[in-house]
Structure 1
């Protein structure tokens, strides 16, 4: 049986590399993210309620909503978890490729693993698609209107905006450079559907992506990423984000001795799970808001 939402939130760490990394990115979305851990603490922070009786009612209703298979909350958490579970394998693949390029007797590894840019591009773009799918599930809306995704991102707050800011920084700028959007679009345009089909994260969510063929699904991924271009460009420009500025901020919290950005990206992939961490917090907030509203209306 999967963990309850209470277990998931109670088990979120208050420290560690993921939390330190997210704290280092506060300058990107100032004051938006507070590392809410503990379900009762989350209830009190989101609603302002401190009375034990009221907190217990909200808690019980939130648990019931999460456990209801007809509600979207467990599925959304599962999506956030999937992309982080694959990161270690993706990072190992990227590192193996770099070793293959630099050490002669390991050069065969370059033939067995995807190019680092292809790997990183798929990691970035599939995470964007997962965000769209989770957003649609949580709001009970269709995946058909991709064009509205960019507008929806402009309304993001709290954990959700921190997750997307981290995506831009950690999965975009650091591994792919300042032109990461153009580079990702170019990579997608030249991608063979067979390469996508071999990607483990894609395999895990393929049935949720619209399209009758892998080529169709690649088209959906490309269109979804394209719909976020304006929002991402605006975030990068408005905050003056560069790989170097992000690394400088991170070094205040995490001792990253190596400043080679491809290795930094691999290190972060292997040591953080920011998508799952903030995704659980997003779902918990949504559950608490709904449970509180329903209790206040007298429905429960």
Structure 2
């Protein structure tokens, strides 16, 4: 890792597009997410501790845990960061495709993926990345779908916000309310070779369980199918709609209704919610474990 973990947490933004986008989802999970930034500040928030010497001790232990390569913490952060950089490439391609349909740049549609297919693959891979990162953080085998599903029901704070953002920004906005069925259907129809050409898949494939792309594709599909019920329940119980989400985004992203389909691609390129909340989750887990071990 290029920066120490405490510096990564210290450098988390307190404002900007990512934070505004996440705050726009507060209505789905009221009060669940606070934008915790700063390593010492996070220690205080997680532990309630005020003793500076103890805060220092907890911080040092958390840093040592993160630096231990036999643990999965560094790999988890790598996943959170990398899946987003691959996704950003998809956003660029999807937006180029959309522009290609609207102007003389029609030739672009021949060299960029269709937004719906790109978004569907992206969504499935982001979901499996959450599962694999969860396994890395908790020190369990990377294919523990059952453990992940059990934990998902208890997700809160940053982790729940990340799933809310996944459902909203990568699901409902680009693909509509039936995004889960649509994405899985499109993903199932994607060949392993097509998958290998996908930037998001290429970025994280080494940590996805499975021998080759065909096995990895099967694992991604199984993971998504297993989690589909939770996502559909989240959408129905929270009454998540494209209109509702877009109206909240209009507070800080300018677009007209006829250009709403650009928004998914714009979010892909500019809103780094996976890394942001992933780093917050990672810091919390490190601190909780450090406290338990002191």
What TM-score do the two structures reach when normalised by structure 2? Answer: 0.96
User: 1:207, CA displacement in angstroms?
Assistant: 2.0
1:257–1:110: structure 2 CA closer, same or farther, 3 Å change rule? closer
In the aligned structure 2, how far is the partner of 1:207 from the partner of 1:83? Answer: 12
Q: Which residue of 1 aligns with 2:254?
A: 256
1:145–1:52: structure 2 CA closer, same or farther, 3 Å change rule? closer
State yes or no: 1:146 paired with 2:176. no
In the aligned structure 2, how far is the partner of 1:212 from the partner of 1:271? Answer: 33
Moved over 3 A (4+): none
User: 1:148, CA displacement in angstroms?
Assistant: 4.3
Q: How many residues align structurally?
A: 293
In the aligned structure 2, how far is the partner of 1:149 from the partner of 1:69? Answer: 22
Instruction: Classify the secondary structure of the residue corresponding to 1:107.
Output: helix
In the aligned structure 2, how far is the partner of 1:193 from the partner of 1:6? Answer: 39
Long gaps (5+) in structure 1: 296-300
Q: Which residue of 2 aligns with 1:282?
A: 281
Cα RMSD of the aligned pairs, angstroms, is 1.3
User: 1:205, CA displacement in angstroms?
Assistant: 1.8
In the aligned structure 2, how far is the partner of 1:93 from the partner of 1:40? Answer: 39
In the aligned structure 2, how far is the partner of 1:13 from the partner of 1:174? Answer: 24
Q: Which residue of 2 aligns with 1:157?
A: 156
The residue correspondences of 1:189-268 to structure 2 (distance < 5 A) are 189-252=188-251, 254-259=252-257, 260-268=259-267
In the aligned structure 2, how far is the partner of 1:17 from the partner of 1:163? Answer: 15
User: 1:88, CA displacement in angstroms?
Assistant: 2.5
Q: Which residue of 2 aligns with 1:65?
A: 65
1:21–1:43: structure 2 CA closer, same or farther, 3 Å change rule? same
In the aligned structure 2, how far is the partner of 1:87 from the partner of 1:145? Answer: 24
In the aligned structure 2, how far is the partner of 1:25 from the partner of 1:286? Answer: 23
Q: Which residue of 2 aligns with 1:298?
A: none
| Contact 1:91–1:266, Cα closer than 8 Å, also in 2 | yes
User: 1:289, CA displacement in angstroms?
Assistant: 0.6
What TM-score do the two structures reach when normalised by structure 1? Answer: 0.94
Which segment drifts farther, 15-24 or 134-143? 134-143
